[in-house]
Amino acid sequence: MPRVTLSGNPEAVAKKAVEKLRDSIDSKMREALDAAIRILDSARIRALERVEREVSQILREAEEKVHAERAVRETEIRVAELNARNEWIERAVREALKRLRGALGEEEYTAFLRDMLRRAAESLKAMDISEGVVYPTEPDRDIVEKLVATEKLPVTLRVADRSVEGLGGFIVASPDETTRLDYRLESVLADAIEDARAAAAKQLFG
């Protein structure tokens, strides 16, 4: 085996070798540390971006919910205002109808109902219906019962036990209910009531 001869100071050679190895290790450690930092930075950036996206999504959803809730609330307010307005208008119209009935007087109002009852009976006769059922409104039941009992009409009418809703007047129907003639004040005075509603709305709300 050939012999290797070391020249120079062995201690210096060893020290230089150690320093070279240390420099190499330090370099690799710096590279590894730089790579780790880059990986951490990249992960941090991705995490921040994800957080930003999630926060933005949450904010958008919250904003949409706020807008939707506001729209619902505004709609509810408008509906409530409209309902209140319509209620006041209907109150005014009902009061006007009550005053109209009172202004006519009992005799004149009875004559008004008598005329409508005759018209209803004649309409039934024109349709070849010989009998009819009268459903009075509760306020006019007594008057209608007396008129049906005393008036000579072209068809036979009887008063039903059941009343219908309304401020006055009555409904006349054929026995089989296929024909119904509405002579309640709300129907007979429909055009006048619509005018009254418009006048009430203008008077109450401008």
pLDDT of residue 193 exceeding 90 = no
SS3 call for 45 = helix
Average per-residue pLDDT in the chain? 77
Residue with tokens 């780790």: 36
pLDDT, average across residues 114-143 = 94
Contact 137, 168 (CB under 8 A): yes
Distance CA 101, CA 119 (A): 20
pLDDT of residue 204 exceeding 70 = no
pLDDT, average across residues 128-157 = 95
pLDDT, average across residues 184-200 = 75
Please choose, from the candidates 128, 142, 139, 137, the residue with its C-alpha nearest in 3D space to the C-alpha of residue 172. Answer: 137
Element (H, E) at 182: strand 180-182
pLDDT tens-digit profile of 102-117?
A: 777 888 889 989 999 9
Contact 179, 135 (CB under 8 A): no
pLDDT, average across residues 35-40 = 62
Q: 45 — phi, psi (to 5°)? A: -65, -45
More confident residue, 196 or 70: 70
pLDDT of residue 201 exceeding 50 = yes
Contact 184, 144 (CB under 8 A): no
Distance CA 145, CA 149 (A): 6
pLDDT of residue 42 exceeding 60 = yes
Q: Helix 106-126 to helix 141-150 angle, to the nearest 10 degrees? A: 60
Which of 3.20.20.450, 1.10.3720.10, 3.30.2320.30, 3.30.1330.10 is the CATH number of 105-205?
A: 3.30.2320.30
Residue 164 is predicted with a pLDDT of: 95
pLDDT of residue 129 exceeding 80 = yes
Residue 4 is predicted with a pLDDT of: 46
Contact 181, 124 (CB under 8 A): yes
pLDDT of residue 46 exceeding 70 = no
Structure tokens at 166: 């309304």
Please state the domain extents for the chain. 9-104, 105-205
Distance CA 182, CA 170 (A): 7
pLDDT tens-digit profile of 156-188?
A: 999 999 999 988 899 999 999 999 999 998 888
Q: How far is the CA of 157 from the CAs of 18, 50, 133, 150, 173, in angstroms?
A: 128, 82, 6, 11, 9
Least confident stretch, 1-10, 73-82, 86-95, 164-173: 1-10
SS3 call for 136 = strand
Distance CA 146, CA 157 (A): 12
Cβ-based neighbour number of residue 102 at 10 Å:
10
Contacts of 136 (CB under 8 A, 6+ apart): 144, 145, 159, 160, 163, 164, 169, 170
